[in-house]
Structures are given as C-alpha cells and as structure tokens.
C-alpha cells in the first residue's frame, strides 16, 4: 500500500505571486504564457505604446529621440521611458512632414528654428515662419498633383490604345505596328506607347 499523500489542488488565481512559477520554468512540453506587453502608466505611454499608436517602429521612435525631435516625459519605476500625449502628436507631425517630402534632417532644422524663435519670445514670428513653409509646400504639392493628373491621363490613354493589340493578328511583326490599321489614321500613339516601340537607328 502506498504511503503517498494526495494534496488538494489550488487554483492558480489564489496562489500568491511569489509561489507562482516564472515564465520559462514550465516543464518541457507545457505551454508557456507570454507576458503582456507593457501598457500606459498613469496616462503616459511607454515606447511600445507610442510606436503602436503612431504606426511607427520602436527603432524610429528612438531615432527621433536621438535627433531631439521627441523627448520622454520621465521614467516609470521599472526605468521605462514614459511619453506624454504631446510626444504622440509630435510623432504624427513628423510622419506627415515625411509624407510631404521632408527628410528627417529637414524636420530637425524646422523644429529647431521654431523652438529657437519661440525661445526668443516671438511666437508670432515662429507661426509666420511655419505658415510660409506650409504655403510653399502647398504650392509644391498642387504642382505635383497637376503632374500626376497629366500622367494619369497619359496612362489611361495608353491603356485604351493598347486594348486594340488583343484583336491584332498574333503573327504580325512589331515593325508593322508603326502603321497600325486598328486605329484611325489621325490617331497618334500616346508617348508611353510610342516610346517603347521606338528603336534607335
């Protein structure tokens, strides 16, 4: 007869934290729990939260901090950097300027110029400078949109022109395409089509 004593099982939710097994101490073959990702502390964001909320990588956040574009508000008890809502707004601002074509060096210069002007006590002049910058970027963006619309028209025209190639004689040589009889005589091939057909003499 066995002398082993069977002890009652105690649910893990009533076991003191100190008595619980640490992650990684589970027996072989047992499922290991993944510790939850750090979350906001007292309304502040840790770097992982900031990256997730802004759609950036943690590496990018660290780079912004190295460039002086983003600053942590403080640190948690576990020495994690903590960021306020202004850091999230700044990261989104950086992302929008990058979409407008600014490099990180450009953004760093813009931020420094703005901060320097404000530090000298001229908020109005700082805002005027940013307005001038955005106005110039608006003109540039509108010019780019015009170019893109023109390119869109050219692509659509090229696709329409090339649709006739599906009904052309499969045995026809490419050299004969200069006198295509699938189009009206006055129809010129769009440059996106004529360009790849043209061969240097």
pLDDT digits (tens, 9 = 90+) for 126-161: 888 889 999 999 999 999 999 999 999 999 988 888
Last residue of a domain, one of 103, 126, 159: 103
Poorest-pLDDT segment among 11-15, 116-120, 137-141, 165-169: 11-15
Any domain includes 17: no
CA-wise closest residue to 90 among 111, 106, 74, 105: 111
More confident position, 125 or 107? 107
DSSP string for residues in 98-165: HHTT--HHHHHHHHHHHHHHHHTT-HHHHHHHHHHHHHHHHHHHHHHHHHHHHHHHHHHHHHHHHGGG
Domain hosting 45: range is: 35-103
Q: Residue 101 — left, alpha, or beta (φ > 0 → left; ψ -120 to 50 → alpha)? A: left
User: By percentage, how much of the chain surpasses pLDDT 70?
Assistant: 65
Any domain includes 20: no
The pTM (predicted TM-score) of the whole model is 0.60
Last residue of a domain, one of 74, 103, 132: 103
Predicted pLDDT of residue 28: 39
When divided into structural domains, the chain yields a total of 2
Torsion, Cα 99 104 105 110, to 10 degrees, reads 70
Residues 42 and 89 in one domain: yes
Please give the Cα distance from 130 to 110 (Å, whole number).
8
Any domain includes 23: no
């Amino acid at each position: 007869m066995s002398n082993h004593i069977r002890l009652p099982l105690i649910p893990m939710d009533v076991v003191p934290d100190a008595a619980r097994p640490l992650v990684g101490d589970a027996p072989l073959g047992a499922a290991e729990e993944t510790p939850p990702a750090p979350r906001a502390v007292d309304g502040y964001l840790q770097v992982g939260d900031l990256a997730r909320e802004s759609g950036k990588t943690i590496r990018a956040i660290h780079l912004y901090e190295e460039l002086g574009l983003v600053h942590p508000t403080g640190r948690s008890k576990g020495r994690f950097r903590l960021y306020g809502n202004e850091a999230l707004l700044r990261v989104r601002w950086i992302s929008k300027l990058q979409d407008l074509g600014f490099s990180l060096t450009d953004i760093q210069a813009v931020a420094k110029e703005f901060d320097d002007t404000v530090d000298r006590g001229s908020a109005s002049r700082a805002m005027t400078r940013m307005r001038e910058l955005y106005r110039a970027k608006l003109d540039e963006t509108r010019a780019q949109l015009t170019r893109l619309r023109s390119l869109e028209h050219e692509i659509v025209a090229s696709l329409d022109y090339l649709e006739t190639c599906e009904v052309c004689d499969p045995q026809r040589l490419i050299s004969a395409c200069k006198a295509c009889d699938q189009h009206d005589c006055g129809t010129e091939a769009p440059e996106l089509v004529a360009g790849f057909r043209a061969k240097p003499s």
